[in-house]
Chains A and B, each alone.
Chain A
Amino acid sequence: MEHIAHDETSFVRPAEVGEMELYHAKTWLGKYVFSQDAKTIAIQYAATAIAIGMVALVLSWVMRLQLAWPNTFTFIDPAYYLQAVTMHGMIMVVYLLTALFLGGFGNYLIPLMVGARDMVFPWLNMISFWVYFTAVVLLAASFFVGGGSTGAGWTLYPPQAILPGTPGSETGILLMLASLAVFIIGFTMGGLNYVVTILQARTRGMTLMRMPLTVWGIFVATVLALFAFPALFVSAIMMSLDVLLGTSFFMPAIMTMGNEADHVGGNPLLFQHLFWFFGHPEVYIVALPAFGIVSDLISIHARKNIFGYRMMVWAIIIIGALSFVVWAHHMYVSGMNPYFGFFFATTTLIIAVPTALKVYNWVLTLWQGNIHLTIPMLFSIAFLLFFINGGMTGLFLGNASVSMPLSDTLFVVAHFHMVMAVAPVMVVCGAIYHWYPKITGRWYHEGMARFHFWVTFVGSYLVFLPMHYLGIMGVPRRYFEITGTSFLPDSAQTVNASITIAALVVGFAQLVFLYNLIFSAMKGQKAPGNPWNATSLEWQTEHTPPQHGNFGKELPCVYRWAYDFSVPGVEDDFIPQNVPPRSTTSEAAS
């Protein structure tokens, strides 16, 4: 009755900076190819990443076919097998997951979720994608050069990575190193954009502690990437010099093929330290965006606020910080001072604390929630199951004494696929379905999506759960074939064959997924602007899909966090972030 009429924006501080200038391209090339709109760049990133990821998927079939039925497929020779192993790993980790989470989801969601018109440096953002594209082309080129792509394993350990006898030691390894260096340059351009946009370009009222956890996950992952990729960049340069100029950074005096190599006095362990100083944070570069996104999916589709928001944020930050001091747990068998092993085992196990905290919070968010078993929710629950499973085996591998006998067995393969391959991919799928109506303005085909989910979920379990048993039995990873071993029963081979059948089926299910995405984008049912009744800003845009500039004439003001679901005394079961405080209560009605 008294002061209802006052300006609701007085609840937030006045704008500190003026509106962002946007460059509106006029040509077709400028709009769709060299677009400076983060949303278009995001789709370019995602499409490129998924395309090269499909190549990696096919390579995993090559591996599986060989392991299940050795000596059946004549086109798979040992060199080809090793190349498939290597390229599958590198593509999936770096070129698919990193690029998709940060370049794809980061570009699309950061500006929309923090209420910015675009990334702060749109031109740099555009270049970032094209540099990434170049890196992918370089990588793909290595399939076609003489000697083929490198077969050194995705860790590219010297000396074997560059010595003759390893597949691809002629040109493949150089293309791989060049591609990685180019990728890092491109990523740095994008990463600076993401970080500065989140820190400096939020809308009025959007404090850091009101950001959706998706943004938090992508933010911390980007910071990790900016600080971890330099180590890979440096080691790529040094190894290229070892190959090209005959320097000996990583190469000790060594006999190869009966001859003394030209190298002298280098240190192969140095590469391992540099690689894993990148490689371990890389695990969290992939995992943290998944953590963030899945928190939002669970909260939205269970119509409940996320349990322990602040704890979730701090857990992300603490996991990020700890990930820089655990790298040598990948090197227990490399020959390290046992005291170092003790240190790294300790730090590794400490990471279990914030991680377990997150898992409890996800479960507690589901607890007594109004759970809608939508496709994104199904994938989120699947993520939880895979992640818990992979996290448990992480405890085995984090302990130096337990890890050593399990080193280089399929147990390790099962562990990291559970925790950082299948689990994040579950989130990727869930997230794509979740934001699909916003990105395309249309619905995906529900039946195909459900088919995709169940086949992928059950199939992935059938692939990776039996691998633990094979690993404990002692089946080594990366071996072309295992013959004449007395410690393996024949049934091990049967298990291998069943894994392969499951892997083939899961792979084909992804084709259904892709068909659904492409087909529904053109023919799907029209979707409303906020189909999930979600609270964060990207669902409150004037247009669906959002136009260049994201929001209408005025940027939204933010008055609350992103998790006001099922608030007592409010008619709707959600309150969008841009709804002012008074308008939800009965006071406003009077």
Chain B
Amino acid sequence: MSTDTMAVDSLELKPGIAGFMDDWGSDQRAFKGVPWGKAMMWIFLVSDTFIFGCFLASYMTVRMSTLDPWPVPSEVFALSFGGAPIPLILIAIMTFVLITSSGTMALAVNYGYRKNKWVTFWLLFATALLGATFVGMQVFEWSKLILEEGVRPWGNPMGAAQFGSVFFMVTGFHGFHVSIGVIFLFIFSYKVARGHLDDQTPGWFTKRGGNYEEIEVLGLYWHFVDLVWVFIFAFFYLW
């Protein structure tokens, strides 16, 4: 968004509550120095928070409504290595991978603002690969549940039918978010590598000039997806 590249430094912003009141009382922009894309992503993420909030609230409700016993997560989500089941081992690795990808993403944003093209590219690419790894492990987890444990959306041998329903729905919806993120990470790695953000090449659809601020917008989304995973992890695997 080359329209937003105006020198933000020239704005003198007051700190604290007084500054907040000044900004919101002023003309043009309520969030001073915030590009449009970034403002949009923040608002979208609040909206998306409501979606995941509704999903998690529904999960808690159906878990309390059902009369059948809820399966024990530490037993369902255990993997056996050398005969001894290790509870939650796969989930631990998945969580580690996803949180690591947040780290590489944050670095990518930083190097992006320094216009360090190749470091940004490699960090974005690493983030995309880590995200893809996460999705791959989720595929493994799902297929194990479906093929070996016999868990189906409409029922399972361990207990309440809602266990499978809500698990597949919520982790599936989160996995969908991760997959979208991975696709955009690959697209932006390509754009960074080809120098589209340096040259402000018009976007394929929007026809607007590329900019390294877009990396930060993508980063916001990626961190959000990670944060949601932390909640899913706590509510599905630890409860």
Contact = CB atoms under 8 A, between A and B. Distances in A.
Interface of A: 12-13, 15-21, 23, 120-124, 188, 191-193, 195-196, 199-210, 226-231, 233-235, 237-238, 241, 245-249, 262, 264-267, 270, 274, 277, 558
A267 B169 CA distance: 16
Nearest to B65: A267
B209 A21 contact: yes
A234 B61 CA distance: 14
24 contacts: A13-B27, A15-B28, A16-B28, A17-B4, A17-B6, A17-B29, A21-B3, A21-B207, A120-B40, A188-B47, A191-B47, A192-B44, A196-B36, A199-B39, A200-B31, A200-B34, A202-B28, A208-B30, A227-B47, A231-B54, A234-B55, A247-B169, A249-B62, A266-B62
B40 to A, nearest CB: 5
A246 B51 CA distance: 22
A233 B29 contact: no
B58 A207 contact: no
A267 B61 contact: yes
A207 B25 CA distance: 6
A208 B25 contact: yes
B207 A23 contact: yes
Main secondary structure, interface of B, reads helix
Top 6 nearest A-B pairs (CB, nearest first) are: A265-B66, A230-B50, A247-B165, A267-B65, A234-B54, A230-B51
Give the residue among B51, B54, B166, B208 with the most A Cβ atoms within 10 A. Answer: B54
A274 B54 contact: yes
A282 to B, nearest CB: 14
Nearest to B36: A120
A113 to B, nearest CB: 14
A234 B161 contact: no
B238 interface: no
Interface of B: 2-6, 11, 24-32, 34, 36, 39-40, 43-44, 46-48, 50-51, 53-55, 58, 61-62, 65-68, 153-154, 160-162, 164-166, 169, 173, 205-209
B11 to A, nearest CB: 7
Nearest to A127: B205
Given A199-B39, A241-B165, A247-B165, A231 B50 contact: yes
Nearest to B60: A270
A199 B48 CA distance: 19
Contact of B153 (A121, A199, A247): A247
B23 to A, nearest CB: 10
A19 B43 CA distance: 23
A17 B62 contact: no
Contacts of A15: 6, 28
A16 B25 CA distance: 15
A265 B54 CA distance: 19
Given A192-B40, A245-B153, A265-B66, A18 B6 contact: yes
B50 A227 contact: yes
Given A208-B24, A230-B47, A248-B162, A19 B62 contact: no
Give the residue among A206, A230, A262 with the most B Cβ atoms within 10 A. Answer: A230
A21 B2 contact: yes
Nearest to A244: B153
Given A226-B46, A247-B169, 16 more contacts: A16-B11, A16-B29, A16-B32, A123-B207, A192-B43, A196-B43, A208-B24, A227-B50, A233-B54, A245-B153, A246-B153, A247-B161, A247-B162, A248-B162, A265-B161, A266-B62
A248 B27 contact: no
B25 A20 contact: no
B40 A12 contact: no
A203 B44 CA distance: 24
B70 to A, nearest CB: 11
A15 B208 CA distance: 20
B46 A227 contact: yes
Nearest to B49: A230
Contacts of B162: 247-249, 265-266
Contacts of A248: 66, 154, 161-162, 165
A210 B26 CA distance: 10
A230 B207 CA distance: 30
A206 B28 contact: yes
B29 A226 contact: no
Contacts of A209: 25
A207 B61 contact: no
Nearest to B30: A199
A265 B25 contact: no
A229 B154 CA distance: 26
A247 B50 CA distance: 23
Contacts of B24: 208
A19 B65 CA distance: 56
B68 to A, nearest CB: 6
Contacts of B68: 264-265
A192 B166 CA distance: 29
B3 A17 contact: yes
A193 B40 CA distance: 8
A241 B153 contact: yes
B7 to A, nearest CB: 9
Nearest to A123: B206
A265 B48 CA distance: 28
Nearest to A195: B43
A202 B165 contact: no
Give the residue among A195, A196, A210, A228 with the most B Cβ atoms within 10 A. Answer: A196
